[in-house]
Structure 1
Amino acid sequence: MMKRATLWLSSIAVAALMAGANAQIYTYTATGPFNIPGAGTSGPASVYPITFNVSDSGNVAWVAITLGGLSHTWFDDIDALLVSPAGTAVLFLSDAGGSSDPNGDYTFRDDISLSAIPDLSYAAPGTYNTSSYGTGDTFPAPAPAGPYGGSLTLFLGENITGTWSLYIYDDAGGDLGSMQFATLTIAVPEPASMVVLGAGLAGLLGLRRRKK
């Protein structure tokens, strides 16, 4: 009986790994340029929100968002909020980078192997964890009201289908910037991974019932 339980638990662990490693990756790109802000030296970007209309189906394994060709004369001014079709709102960039000038493609994906953009210093283009240092950030309508989540893992398990919205806001005057494109990347577990996981859970449940 112990060997069977061990086998079922092993299958569940393998399936969980498969769900991450053997995932279907979907990418959706919105092409600019987008001015940050759209007018003056503070306020919403010139397209607000930037939207991604997702017609594919499945449930989120992980989400990444890329701010492509990003440039600005004061990194700290940029706040960025991603909202799922279910209404989950994650503030993934806020008050990061200090007075430095971003100059390239910046991707955000929550992963323990990644670091955040520093609070007060320059970060080269690359892939980072969510990087939010501000408190009480607000976005004008039609963005949802806060408070906002601080991790892209909050989207885990949600249905991907529908409109995802990216709100970019310049929260201080005196500086300007732009972005050339934005890309939303969503990973969905392969069906085979979910079948193995379901079988493992069903088997373990059966063993528990027999023990009773």
Structure 2
Amino acid sequence: MIGLLNGSPILLDCNCICSIRILFLCVERTTTFINSNAITIPDLSTGVPYPSQINVMGLTGRIIKATVTISDFSHTFPRDVGFLLVGPQGQTVELMSCAGGGGIAVNVTITFDDSAPEQVPTTIVSGTYQPSVFCARTYSSPAPTPPYGTQLSAYNDTIANGLWSLYVQDFIGVDAGVISGGWTLNITSCEI
């Protein structure tokens, strides 16, 4: 095989495995997509709407990182609630399940980020947390069936464009809540 060294042709020994790597330069960009509509969380039922959706458009590169923010979450027993995010290619990530304990949550804003230092605490306060899944749950149709991923990195190296769905469900009786500020999807992508 012939190659180039300092502009001059040379003979390459390819009795071993040869590989050529092409690197494309890209610009890292974070784009925010918002669905500010409230999600009501009835007792022992699916959220309204179910799912809440965001249509991502206009990105040309692949995902490097994704984070999700739930705005103004209130619930009388947060441990009852689960959040499941489904990406445009069907990838699933459970953001929270059996987390937050039994203390009342009032207008807390939770950002889910794989690189956060801790998971959702027993008493939820506004902050940034890792996805926090402490029990196995199956979300009602039309949500996909388990198994679900537990890290937002499941979306890395995929295309962001398309419909993203947030499924919110209350799994235990007696308590109810609301996400009054909707939710936000932050996508960092490698744009060509």
Runs of 4+ in 1 over 2 A off after TM superposition: none
Aligned to 2:84: 81
- Taking structure 2 as the reference length, the TM-score comes to 0.82
Aligned to 1:106: 110
Kindly state the Cα deviation for residue 176 of structure 1 after the two structures are TM-superposed: 1.0
**Residues 39 and 52 of structure 2 are in contact (CA less than 8 Å); yes or no, is this contact kept in structure 1?**
no
**Residues 79 and 100 of structure 2 are in contact (CA less than 8 Å); yes or no, is this contact kept in structure 1?**
yes
Which residue identity does 2:133 align to in structure 1? Answer: S
Shifted more, 97-106 versus 76-85: the winner is: 97-106
Fraction of identical pairs, as percent: 31
User: What aligned pairs does 1:95-134 form with structure 2 within 5 A after superposition?
Assistant: 95-103=98-106, 104-111=108-115, 113-118=116-121, 121-134=122-135
Kindly state the Cα deviation for residue 101 of structure 1 after the two structures are TM-superposed: 1.8
Which residue identity does 2:184 align to in structure 1? Answer: T
Which residue identity does 2:68 align to in structure 1? Answer: I
Matched, 1:189 2:187: no
Partner Cα distance (2:191, 2:145) in 1: 34
Which residue identity does 1:46 align to in structure 2? Answer: V
Q: Residue 87 of structure 1 aligns to a residue in which SS?
A: coil
Aligned to 1:46: 48
Q: Residue 44 of structure 1 aligns to a residue in which SS?
A: coil
Q: Residue 60 of structure 1 aligns to a residue in which SS?
A: strand
Aligned to 1:154: 154
**Residues 100 and 123 of structure 2 are in contact (CA less than 8 Å); yes or no, is this contact kept in structure 1?**
yes
Matched, 1:23 2:24: no
Which residue identity does 2:131 align to in structure 1? Answer: T
Partner Cα distance (2:28, 2:171) in 1: 37
Between Structure 1 and Structure 2, the one with more helix by share is: 1
Partner Cα distance (1:150, 1:167) in 2: 15
Partner Cα distance (2:111, 2:58) in 1: 22
Aligned to 1:66: 69
Partner Cα distance (1:101, 1:131) in 2: 18
How many residues are paired up?
A: 167
Partner Cα distance (1:23, 1:47) in 2: 33
| Aligned alpha-carbon RMSD (Å) | 1.8
| Structure 1 residues 24-82: Cα deviation after superposition (integer angstroms, max 9, x where no partner) | 11111112222112xxx111001000101011222111111111010000010110000
Aligned to 1:138: 138
- Taking structure 1 as the reference length, the TM-score comes to 0.74
**Residues 56 and 160 of structure 1 are in contact (CA less than 8 Å); yes or no, is this contact kept in structure 2?**
no
- Structure 2's unaligned 5+ residue stretches are 1-22
Kindly state the Cα deviation for residue 190 of structure 1 after the two structures are TM-superposed: 4.3
Partner Cα distance (2:123, 2:63) in 1: 31
**Residues 130 and 150 of structure 1 are in contact (CA less than 8 Å); yes or no, is this contact kept in structure 2?**
yes
- Structure 1's unaligned 5+ residue stretches are 1-14, 192-212
Partner Cα distance (1:67, 1:163) in 2: 18
| Structure 1 residues 108-137: Cα deviation after superposition (integer angstroms, max 9, x where no partner) | 0101x421013xx203101110111012x1
Larger-gyration structure (1/2): 2
Partner Cα distance (2:173, 2:58) in 1: 39
Q: Residue 36 of structure 2 aligns to a residue in which SS?
A: strand
**Residues 62 and 191 of structure 2 are in contact (CA less than 8 Å); yes or no, is this contact kept in structure 1?**
no
Kindly state the Cα deviation for residue 189 of structure 1 after the two structures are TM-superposed: 2.1
Q: Residue 61 of structure 1 aligns to a residue in which SS?
A: strand
Partner Cα distance (1:128, 1:29) in 2: 19
Which residue identity does 1:166 align to in structure 2? Answer: L
Between Structure 1 and Structure 2, the one with more strand by share is: 2
